[in-house]
Amino acid sequence: MDSDALLVVANRLPVERDDVDGWRLSPGGLVSALVPVLGDTAATWIGWNGMAGEDLGLGEAMPEVFDGIRMVAVPLTKEEVELHYEGFSNGAIWPLYHDCVATPAYHRLEYDAYARTNEQFALTAAQESPQGARVWVHDYQLQLVPGLLRASRSDLQVGFFLHIPFPPVELFAQLPWREQILRGLLGADVVGFQTSRDARNFLAATESVLGLRPGGDRVDVEDGSGHRTVIVQDFPIGIDAEAFAARAADPLVLARAKQIREEIGAGSHLLLGVDRLDYTKGIAVRLRAFGEVLQEGSLEAADVTMLQVAVPSRQNIDEYQRVRDEVELLVGRVNGDVASVGKPVVHYLHRPVDRDELVAMYVAADVLVVTPLRDGMNLVAKEFVACRAGEDGGLVLSEFTGAAHQLDAAYLVNPYDVDAVKRALVAAVRATPEEEQRRMRLLRASVFENDVTRWAETFLATLDRADGA
Ligand code: ADP
Ligand code: G6P
């Protein structure tokens, strides 16, 4: 008899410890998406709590339950954090899967640590899973876990969802451990991606690297458990749109939005950027484009201001330090070139902001600027749209985000084309109220219809239907 139990396995738990605030929500789209759908399911979440071994005894103990979710921590040593998390996950897989916008570094020691850490996650998941449970494994840090679970617990229904892009096979083929990664993923009954492009890339890799013969959205595999069929599909992730809309209507949030506008300067258009400080997010591109439109006079410095929020991320990794330097140099340069005393044209915050403050920013802004060089989905774009109850404002959105597959009423841009980004910024700022409304209605219809509940229900229904045979 199969159990209804649901276990989520992700590199990160939904909480991490901050020296000042204690335990708080972890950063990033994976956690933002999963927390609202798991709250009332009695699910167990297995993951790392963000601390290296030696800090574990410090401070207040981790809570056992967060927002109704039971949490089980997988402890990582300092060395595992360096080799598995900073090393293989974020120094090899992250840049490779984002189309090599930074150069991936392949180190055997790091892959070995990744494999060992994946074994630890799989062991904990197996220990915590009742007979016949559904285990939903998430993201690029844990691609070997489905195969390990298949080998040790063939009674489980295993799903895998990749939150980031899957690259074209021409790039994926670089990976020295490409076969192990594909076989790890194919241990799942269902392998889910953000877009049809990612699913196609994965199927092409199974064909070219493993010699399999995928057909439609399925691929047949032979392994220790015999002959199985793996379902490979896109399940574009959404947000809890109603929750964002409700926060955006809260009187305190509205008052804060008004205050932000006053602080920026009445009459000025507010352009907003909100990202983890990551080299994939194209923050430099938008700063360059903004600086140029002001210098050329297509927009006047008196009429527009940009607010860029950049959440610190993966700060021990060189590429992340480099992108921080680049962004901060550009903020200084644009202000130096066109700002006047007491009125910067770019406001820059390098810190996390709490949810209500973030929503107040979404409400206060006129245009959200989202220009990643590659992004699995980009939830920030959807959150902004959900907060625009007045059907006003504009969204400038990179073509190379998963979100662009659904939000084609945005001003879609190629982020490598600075002139195209400049034209989109000017068009979005100058749009008539009618044009804003036309676009925003279409965007809102998509965001509210394809919300995170629908995403989770569709994925889990597909997993329930998959029999592996
Ligand atoms: P990624 O998953 O690469 O970080 P997404 O745009 O998909 O990118 O998701 C980012 C998530 O992090 C969103 O839910 C967003 O609300 C949240 N977030 C982004 N910036 C901040 C910030 N400064 N403070 C708090 N949360 C943030
Ligand atoms: C993205 C990834 C997540 C990751 C998050 C934050 O959303 O898809 O797996 O958790 O970024 O990154 P971090 O390295 O801090 O966990």
CA distance 436 to 383: 17
Give the ligand whose atoms come closest to the C-alpha of residue 162. 2
Residues 65 and 176 in one domain: yes
Residues 141 and 267 in one domain: no
Residues 48 and 105 in one domain: yes
CATH number of 226's domain: 3.40.50.2000
Residue at 223 is within a domain = yes
pLDDT at 1: 40
What token pair was written down for 390?
């007045």
CA distance 182 to 311: 32
pLDDT at 36: 86
Residue at 170 is within a domain = yes
Q: Domain tally for the chain?
A: 2
- Does 276 sit in the ligand 1 pocket, CB within 6 Å? yes
Q: What is the residue-level pLDDT of the chain in tens, covering all 469 positions?
A: 456 899 999 999 999 888 777 888 887 888 988 998 887 778 999 999 888 875 655 566 888 998 889 999 999 999 999 999 999 999 999 999 999 999 999 999 999 999 999 999 999 999 999 999 999 999 999 999 999 999 999 999 999 999 999 999 999 999 999 999 999 999 999 999 999 999 999 999 999 999 999 999 999 999 877 899 999 999 999 999 999 999 999 999 999 999 999 998 867 899 999 999 999 999 999 999 999 999 999 999 999 999 999 999 999 999 999 999 999 999 999 999 999 999 999 999 999 999 999 999 999 999 999 999 999 999 999 999 999 999 999 999 999 999 999 999 999 999 999 999 999 999 999 999 999 999 999 999 999 999 999 999 999 999 999 975 4
- Does 324 sit in the ligand 1 pocket, CB within 6 Å? no
b/e per residue 23-55 (b: at least 16 CB within 10 A): bebbbbbbbbbbbbbbeeeebbbbbbbbbbeee
Give the ligand whose atoms come closest to the C-alpha of residue 311. 1
| Residue of 161, 380, 452 to test ligand 1 pocket, by largest number of atoms within 8 Å of CB | 380
Q: Give the structural domain span for 403.
A: 241-449
Burial of 97 (0-12, 13-18, 19+ CB in 10 A): buried
- Does 84 sit in the ligand 2 pocket, CB within 6 Å? no
Can you tell me which residue has the tokens 């044209």?
A: 345
Give the ligand whose atoms come closest to the C-alpha of residue 247. 1
pLDDT at 54: 58
* Ligand 2 centroid, distance to 34 Cα (angstroms): 12
Residues 155 and 39 in one domain: yes
Residues 210 and 323 in one domain: no
pLDDT at 415: 98
Residue at 255 is within a domain = yes
Q: Which atom of ligand 2 is nearest to the CA of 27?
A: 6
Q: Which atom of ligand 1 is nearest to the CA of 310?
A: 23
Q: At what angle do helices 418-430 and 283-296 cross, to 10 degrees?
A: 70
Classify residue 401 by its DSSP letter: B
Residue at 224 is within a domain = yes
* Ligand 1 centroid, distance to 368 Cα (angstroms): 14
* Ligand 1 centroid, distance to 29 Cα (angstroms): 6
Residues 376 and 424 in one domain: yes
- Does 29 sit in the ligand 2 pocket, CB within 6 Å? yes
- Does 378 sit in the ligand 1 pocket, CB within 6 Å? yes
- Does 397 sit in the ligand 1 pocket, CB within 6 Å? no
Whether the pTM exceeds 0.75: the reply is yes
Residues 51 and 30 in one domain: yes
Residue at 98 is within a domain = yes
Residue at 1 is within a domain = no
* Ligand 2 centroid, distance to 9 Cα (angstroms): 14
Cα→Cα distances 429→3, 260, 371, Å:
53, 18, 16
Residues 378 and 458 in one domain: no
Give the ligand whose atoms come closest to the C-alpha of residue 35. 1
Residue at 387 is within a domain = yes
Classify residue 165 by its DSSP letter: -
Residue at 12 is within a domain = yes
Residues 163 and 296 in one domain: no
CA distance 152 to 107: 28
Residues 275 and 215 in one domain: no
- Does 27 sit in the ligand 2 pocket, CB within 6 Å? yes
* Ligand 1 centroid, distance to 313 Cα (angstroms): 11
Q: Which atom of ligand 1 is nearest to the CA of 163?
A: 2
Residues 319 and 382 in one domain: yes
Residue whose Cα lies nearest atom 22 of ligand 1: it is 352
Residues 268 and 292 in one domain: yes
